[in-house]
Structure 1
């Protein structure tokens, strides 16, 4: 057994798929299947089994996964410290980036950072803010974009943007011409929300509860543009930040400010207070702080 075996088992367990794990690791599906088969032969134990259409870990697989996390984190810290010795001539940083933040704020920032530090590879993990916080906390990510506020005793952060949610409606909707919409007025609507990996999911549900109703959720997605398309197809109403709404076609949807209550969408760059932070990660934090004018 070597470090690659631990990486492969961990990624397969995370993705619930040999194919998706191979894509994430930039290897072929036959390669990862062969590596797992060889490991199973070495250990004389199955690691994964099919349960209908689902892939799940066996007891042996669960045991490996439980020990793999700390070993892989230690190995990555070793690599990061060795990379620091080369003073940013090589290395990598792991950045958590929710889809809406990535599309709207970061392409130019990435370009400028890599122009300054061409030897540093940026590994992007596209997850919702909730999943990003989880992965920051367990050391899988060096830094990530999250929905503020965030636990200050665990993470350090600085603000990136301050926006608010708007209601997305089909142009034929009775409220599409309004200047603003109170949340309670949407109690009878069909809602299209982000899935549970996104902190906005719970914030919207909790806001609805504060106005005396539970939203009738008919669709969930991880993609803001797909949510916009579903609203355009008259499948329901949605809520998206004003920054994102500007990218939706006004021929297909209308974006009306949400009122009573206002649901904020404040993004922050965050990283763990405790633990080793590589030189590359420190440079990324300083660079993005300057790029977004966040100050010290």
Structure 2
């Protein structure tokens, strides 16, 4: 057994799938399966319960997984130290980005970081902020962007955006000529919102209920541009952050300020307080702090 075997095993445990692990590691699925089988034979235990396409850790597998993460982290730490000593900065960083955040804020930041650290591989994973927070907490991601507030006892954070949600409607909608609207005025409208793994899903529904009505949801999506196209096609209305609304076609979509109540949209980079940080993660945090100075954040 070597460090590569542990890395393959950890990836299967994190993804819950031999196929997904193979795709992430860019090796064949039979290779992953053989490595895990060899480990099981060497250790004399069953590491995974295999049900269909799912792979779930056994009790013994969970114990090995906890130890394996520490071993791989120590190995990565040693590799990073050697890379720094020889001025060859290398590493890998898993960053979770909600689609709206990735589209509106970070292409240039990511490009600048890559230019400074070409040896650090950035694996960008897009899904909702709620799922991102869960995966940072369980170790599947190193760092990610979420919607504030978050668990201050669990995460360090660097605030990066402070906006409000705005209403978008198609250009011929009855409200299109207005500049602002209260949430209660939308009680009879059809809503297009993000899926449940997005923090905005619950936030928008809760705000509507507080304003006296249960929103009638006609469609859910994970893509802000698709939501915009559905609004332009007159399927319904949507609430999106200011930065995203500025990217809508004004000939097809009207944007209104939302009042009574305003719904905040505050983003932050977060990472676990109680875990080892690789060299790549530390450099990313230091870099982001130069882009967003004078913000909360702690780097040990």
TM-score range, shorter chain: 0.7 to 0.9
Which one is further off, 89-98 or 240-249?
Answer: 89-98
Quick one: distance in 1 between partners of 2:143 and 2:11?
A: 23
Q: How many angstroms does 1:37 deviate by?
A: 7.3
Q: How many angstroms does 1:65 deviate by?
A: 6.5
Quick one: distance in 2 between partners of 1:170 and 1:17?
A: 45
Show the counterpart of 1:98. 98
Show the counterpart of 2:74. 78
- Number of equivalences: 284
Structure 1 unmatched ranges of 5 or more? none
Trace 1:19-58 onto structure 2 (pairs within 5 A): 22-27=22-27, 31-33=28-30, 35-36=32-33, 47-50=49-52, 55-57=53-55
Q: How many angstroms does 1:257 deviate by?
A: 1.2
Partner SS for 1:169: strand
Partner SS for 2:271: strand
Q: How many angstroms does 1:25 deviate by?
A: 3.4
Q: How many angstroms does 1:191 deviate by?
A: 1.0
Q: How many angstroms does 1:182 deviate by?
A: 0.8
Show the counterpart of 1:191. 191
Counterpart check, 1:157 vs 2:153: no
Quick one: distance in 1 between partners of 2:61 and 2:37?
A: 14
Show the counterpart of 1:9. 12
- Against the structure 1 CA distance between its residues 226 and 39, is the aligned structure 2 distance closer, same or farther, given a 3 Å change threshold? same
Show the counterpart of 2:229. 229
User: Structure 2-normalised TM-score?
Assistant: 0.84
Q: How many angstroms does 1:122 deviate by?
A: 1.3
Summarize deviations over 1:55-88 as a string: whole Å, max 9, x none.
Answer: 4457xx6557745652453244123312331226
8 Å Cα contact 1:158-1:294 kept in structure 2:
no
Counterpart check, 1:273 vs 2:273: yes
8 Å Cα contact 1:9-1:65 kept in structure 2:
no
Partner SS for 1:257: strand
Q: How many angstroms does 1:40 deviate by?
A: 6.4
Partner SS for 1:153: coil
8 Å Cα contact 2:167-2:238 kept in structure 1:
yes
Trace 1:102-181 onto structure 2 (pairs within 5 A): 102-181=102-181
Q: How many angstroms does 1:170 deviate by?
A: 1.0
Which one is further off, 145-154 or 41-50?
Answer: 41-50
Quick one: distance in 2 between partners of 1:210 and 1:62?
A: 44
Which one is further off, 3-12 or 127-136?
Answer: 3-12
Q: How many angstroms does 1:132 deviate by?
A: 1.2
Structure 2 unmatched ranges of 5 or more? none
Q: How many angstroms does 1:202 deviate by?
A: 0.7
Quick one: distance in 2 between partners of 1:147 and 1:117?
A: 27
Quick one: distance in 1 between partners of 2:14 and 2:197?
A: 18
